[in-house]
Amino acid sequence: MKRYQLTIGGVELNPTVPPQAVRRTGGGRSVMEAVSINGTVMHTRGHRTARRIQITSPGPEWVLLSDQVAALQALTAGAAFTVTFGEGYETAGTFTGCLFDGDAVFEPKRQSAYANYNFTIYIPQEA
């Protein structure tokens, strides 16, 4: 796998998306404590929470190709897909069952073969 590989639903985004364009929220643990009658914490456990990954063009020169945009727009219909982040990103790995969260925005450039991007991917809760 390439260091900055980003594949969404089988669509490899190449030219690559820079790491500063990818921001993660969530993914921590929700904490539940078992407390005794006198208030002593007996044990703590938590489940991983869901994550959202926002991917935004860091500037007007960072674009996707029109065929990549068309393939990503086809995924916005609601079917789950797989996302793979290379090791150069904060959230590295392959995630299944992902969905677009909200509207994916692709703003065409003057040259119709390119578009800026702004979208959020929902990554389901992990065990």
Domains, the chain, ordered by start: 6-123 (2.40.30)
Residues in the chain, how many? 127
The rounded distance, in Å, linking the Cα atoms of 82 and 97 is 6
pLDDT in tens for each of the 127 residues of the chain? 788 889 999 999 877 788 888 888 776 555 566 677 787 766 665 555 568 999 999 988 899 999 999 999 988 777 899 999 999 998 889 999 999 988 889 998 877 789 999 999 998 876 3
**Alpha carbon of 118 to those of 53, 54, 92: distances in Å?**
11, 7, 20
CA atoms of 38 and 120, how far apart (whole Å): 45
- pTM comes to 0.74
For residue 19, CA distances in Å to 3, 11, 40, 71, 98 come to 10, 18, 43, 22, 20
Strands (E), 1-127: 6-8, 11-12, 22-26, 29-35, 41-48, 51-56, 64-65, 81-85, 93-100, 105-108, 114-123
Three-class DSSP category at 71 = helix
pLDDT value, residue 127 = 34
Block residue for tokens 């959230």: 91
Structure token pair of residue 57 = 């063009």
